[in-house]
Amino acid sequence: MAKILIVDDEPHIRLLLEQTLEDFEDDGVELIMAENGAEALEIIKAERPNLVFLDVMMPKMNGFDVCKAVKNELAMDDVYIVLLTAKGQESEKHQGLDVGADVYLTKPFNPDEIQAMTSNILGLA
């Protein structure tokens, strides 16, 4: 059963992502939430989600560091990471891809795009 982890310190953004993705629950996908980087890292280690939507600016541990830990230190290549940032600076995009993120999106994101991306990555029609 596929798992998607949603990580953002803003509850409204978590809610938005949850509602955007809740139709996938009908396909048996499990949605998991985390409020900060440290919690996210614990969940990733324990649950090994297939897909992570990861905010960048968060307390405790930022998205870049989580991404680096997952992709480099834990070498969990099969965890697909989508970085979501509100900064929208180009230098950050490079930084994001440097730490191993698979995709880098700026907020505000388009829910349609998130849905399309998800079914693509999880191989759902």
Q: Smaller CB distance to another protein: residue 11 or 124? A: 11
Cβ–Cβ < 8 Å for 3, 28: no
Please tell me the distance from the alpha carbon of residue 94 to that of residue 104, in angstroms, as a whole number. 9
Task: Provide the minimum distance between the beta carbon of 45 and another protein in the complex, in angstroms, as a whole number.
Answer: 28
Task: Provide the minimum distance between the beta carbon of 21 and another protein in the complex, in angstroms, as a whole number.
Answer: 11
Q: Smaller CB distance to another protein: residue 48 or 93? A: 93
Task: Provide the minimum distance between the beta carbon of 4 and another protein in the complex, in angstroms, as a whole number.
Answer: 16
3-class DSSP assignment, residue 57: coil
3-class DSSP assignment, residue 90: helix
Amino acid at 55: D
Q: Smaller CB distance to another protein: residue 17 or 69? A: 17
Q: Smaller CB distance to another protein: residue 65 or 74? A: 65
Binding footprint of another protein on the chain (CB under 8 A): 10, 12-13, 16, 19-20, 57, 86-91, 94, 106-112
Task: Provide the minimum distance between the beta carbon of 19 and another protein in the complex, in angstroms, as a whole number.
Answer: 6
Q: Which residues fall within 8 angstroms of residue 77, CB to CB, at 6 or more apart?
A: 71
Nearest to 52 by CA among 12, 80, 24, 33: 80
